[in-house]
Amino acid sequence: MKKRLTLIFQIAAVFVGTIVGAGLASGQEITQFFTTYGYKSFLGIVFCFVIYSFMSTIIIKISVKYNLTSYNELISLVMPQHIGKFTDLVTGFFMISSSAIILAGSGALFHQYFKVSPWVGIGLMVLISIITLLKDTKGLITINSFIVPSLIIVILTVFSLYLFFHENIFNIQHIKSIETYKNPWLISSLLYGGFNILCCTGVLVPLSSEIKETKSLCIGSTLGAAILTLLCFMINLMLLLNIPYIFKYDIPLLYIANPFGKGLQLILLVIIFFEMFSTEVSDIYSVAKTLKFKFNIPYKIAVLLILCFTVPMARIGFKNLITFLYPAFGGLSLIFIICCMRFYKKNI
């Protein structure tokens, strides 16, 4: 029983760690996909929880039954051949774009906190990523197991402090009166939930292949979705109460933590940076291995080629990259979700 509970919590942690990337950890994703929709944004977050728990269960059951080992195999199985190949190609492109988003985010982080050129943060991220990727990635699991709980603790701390010092504005009437900047919330939630669940296949499929305990996998992924939802609720509420000031910043969570001292801000900055680092290395590693397998490009050369492509992309800017790339990938992800549901209904 104890072993099974440990496994469930490990799966939940992996699920949270997969989705919590640069955009969510910084608050920028929540701002663009939820907060700008006003108080109805909380309905969007709950809707994403439904997508995560429902779709992760479907993906796990398909993967276990057909003994799948990678997201490529899942895409090929559930989608028509030509659409599947296109989705596979776009998923690879998104991982490269995600790498560029993280580089831009690291630059924005250093620029906002230290008032230095964004290239300082970008250069540091590139350097430590190359050092890690050219050696091995064994330390990634250790980093994630430390960073995700630390991020949750810091966000809980910031939320508790905010609640304590601003309890007078934590009421439904005030939240409902906050200006709504976008409509409708449902489309935004579908796009956000869609691209996150497609990204999760890269972890859920191989996990299903290794563990093969369908019930534990489904409970763990649902628990992870619940933790993620709670995290998003807290971040969204704090962001909502800081409209319109948050729109001035690439890293809105740093702005929210500002009144509580430089120490807490610095801890948050370090955690966000290492969350970015973990995702950066994972994305580059996945694409580099794919390039090696498909085109016989040596792994180390592939790593350098990817970085040569992503560094110039980072110049577009953190906020701009999230605004353009995430909805575009989310649209394709919805096709993937429909194909998964159809396949599940016919074959499972």
Among 211, 202, 184, CA closest to 73: 202
Which H or E run includes 48? helix 41-65
Neighbours of 293 (CB within 10 A): 11
CA dist., res. 197 & res. 292, Å (int)? 25
Helix H or strand E segment including 323:
helix 318-347
- Quick check: 280 and 102 in contact, CB under 8 A? yes
pLDDT tens digits, residue range 39-89?
999 999 999 999 999 999 999 999 999 998 777 788 889 988 777 778 777
Listed by start position, the domains of the chain span 2-347
The closest alpha carbon to 30, from 173, 116, 155, 127, belongs to 155
| Closest residue by Cα to residue 308 from 274, 284, 326, 291 | 284
Q: Which residues contact 123 (CB under 8 A, 6 or more apart)?
A: none
Query: So what's the pLDDT on residue 156?
Result: 92
Omega within 30 of 0 (cis) for the link into 80: no
pTM assigned to the model:
0.85
Pairwise CA distance, residues 299 & 111, whole Å:
32
Torsion sign (Cα): 225, 138, 125, 265: positive
Burial of 157 (0-12, 13-18, 19+ CB in 10 A): middle
CA 133, CA 118: separation in Å to the nearest integer?
23
Whole-number Å distance between alpha carbons of 162 and 8: 32
114 with 266: CB under 8 angstroms?
no
Per-residue pLDDT of the chain (348 residues; tens, 9 = 90+): 777 888 888 888 878 877 876 667 778 889 989 999 999 999 999 999 999 999 999 999 999 999 987 777 888 899 887 777 787 777 778 778 888 888 888 998 898 889 899 999 999 999 998 888 887 555 555 666 677 788 888 889 999 998 888 877 778 888 888 888 888 899 999 989 988 898 788 778 888 888 878 999 999 999 999 999 999 999 999 999 999 899 988 889 889 988 888 888 898 888 888 878 877 887 787 788 778 777 888 888 988 999 998 999 888 876 676 677 777 777 788 889 999 999 999 997
The CATH architecture assigned to 2-347 reads Up-down Bundle (1.20)
Q: What is the pLDDT of residues 205-232, one digit of tens each?
A: 888 888 878 999 999 999 999 999 999 9
Record the tokens describing residue 301, joined without a space: 């050369």
The token pair that represents 120 in the structure block: 């300082």
CB-based contact 63:210 (threshold 8 Å): no
Angle at 81 between CA 76 and CA 82, to 5 degrees: 125
